[in-house]
Amino acid sequence: NNLNLFLLKYLCLKLIIYKSIQVLPLFAEIDDDKKFTSCFGVLNFGMVAVMMLNVPLGMTGYAKWGEDVKSSLTLNLPHDHELTQFVIIMMILGIACSYALQFYPAAVIVYSDLEKIYGPFNHPAIWDYSIRICICLVTYLAASTVPHLDLFMSLVGSVTCVALTMIFPALSNLAFRTKDKGSFFSSFLDMVTILTAVIGSVTGIYANTTAIYEAFSQNHSNG
């Protein structure tokens, strides 16, 4: 039903937020590894804080608007209300201040490859900022031109981010545990994680593909 489709798409979008490509650079920059991976370290504290903010907000939005909930809760708010305008302005400022920061891993990878081919550069800072600006502009053009981008992003999350966040780490840990003769319980948890990820990926692909088909079919019938 629509609730299941909503929950699956919501899960796939959250996987994009939690994917390891944004965590690994932070891990590389920290001085003490134990402060990052401990029970009350940076990773667990940050993930718990993000989940406490995102999950209640998403569930509250669905409880309020039900099947009419949109990809962003701000789109459901009455636009003629002063508080709504304030919320939209705060969201714009938050995105403007943090959007480029999200592309730090991609910018580092692209800059390193370009430097190997065309470097060394006389003005590395200019090249660095130019690459970041170009990446942001490409995503801006994609968001402006691709119809139903939220559905495609959710589909990407169900395909790639499940592998990045759950399958590959569990496989790596399983191989490491098997080589060093780790405990059976740890290997069992890895297998459960892989199985859960595969089931979530398959159901997510089905749900998002169905939603994309219905969205384009509705646009075609309206056109």
Task: Specify the pTM.
Answer: 0.55
Sequence-distant (6+) residues with CB within 8 A of 218 are: none
pLDDT tens, 97-112? Answer: 777 777 777 788 888 8
Amino acid making up residue 145: T
Distance CA 159, CA 139 (A): 19
Which backbone phi and psi does 77 adopt, to 5 degrees? -75, 150
What pLDDT shows up at residue 175? 79
Distances (CA, A) of 178 to 159, 170, 191, 195, 198: 27, 12, 12, 18, 21
Distance CA 203, CA 51 (A): 22
Average pLDDT in the chain: 75
* 84, HSE (Cβ side, Cα atoms, 13 Å): 10
> Percentage of the chain surpassing pLDDT 70?
78
Comparing 62-71, 105-114, 127-136, the range with the smallest average pLDDT is: 62-71
Tokens of 62: 């669905």
In this predicted structure, the answer to whether residue 114 has a pLDDT above a threshold of 60 is yes
Higher pLDDT, 66 or 180: 66
Distance CA 100, CA 46 (A): 20
Alpha-helix runs per DSSP H in 23-163: 24-29, 33-37, 42-65, 82-98, 104-118, 124-145, 149-156, 162
Q: Which long-range contacts (CB under 8 A, 24 or more apart) does 106-114 make?
A: 106/21, 106/135, 107/131, 107/132, 107/135, 108/25, 110/135
What pLDDT shows up at residue 160? 76
Residues 9 and 208: beta-carbon distance below 8 Å: yes
Comparing 17-31, 32-46, 80-94, the range with the smallest average pLDDT is: 17-31
pLDDT tens, 172-214? Answer: 877 777 666 666 777 788 788 888 888 878 887 888 788 778 8
Q: What is the mean pLDDT of residues 8-26?
A: 54
Tokens of 174: 């399983």
